[in-house]
Amino acid sequence: MSPYEEVILDHWKNPRNKGRLSNPDLVGMEVNPLCGDAVRLELKVSDGKVADVRFDGQGCAISQAAASLLTELIRGRSLAELREFRDEELLSALGGVIQTRLKCALLPVRALRKALGS
Ligand code: FES
């Protein structure tokens, strides 16, 4: 199994931070129009930083595993840092994503940008 497959399988089987926050400060939802898969991100912000984060959604293993991984990457970061968040950081953390699945892997980043209003 490649490192990429291992990361996807791990987060798909044991999703981190899945669910809803009771009173989120920022919410972003993105749907892949090609397949209907969806990711919703909720952020709790304190002192300008991500104090808590949850994701929810349904769809392919890559989109949901990428959302799980993204929640781990962004917890504790400032909103200013999140506005600078690059697709490549998530793709690198995933271990490299094949070109045909980029839309799946980046669905949660698009949800994040919606949450940030950018
Ligand atoms: Fe729909 Fe992956 S197949 S997001």
Ligand 1 mean position, distance from CA 16 (Å):
19
Task: Return the residue whose CA atom lies nearest to atom 2 of ligand 1.
Answer: 104
CATH 3.40.50.300 fits 3-116, yes or no: no
What mean pLDDT, rounded, does the chain reach? Answer: 96
What confidence tens digit (pLDDT) does each residue in 66-86 have?
999 999 999 999 999 999 999
Ligand 1 mean position, distance from CA 67 (Å):
12
Domain positions in the chain are 3-116
pTM of the model: 0.96
What confidence tens digit (pLDDT) does each residue in 8-45 have?
999 999 999 999 999 999 999 999 999 999 999 999 99
Distance CA 34, CA 57 (A): 16
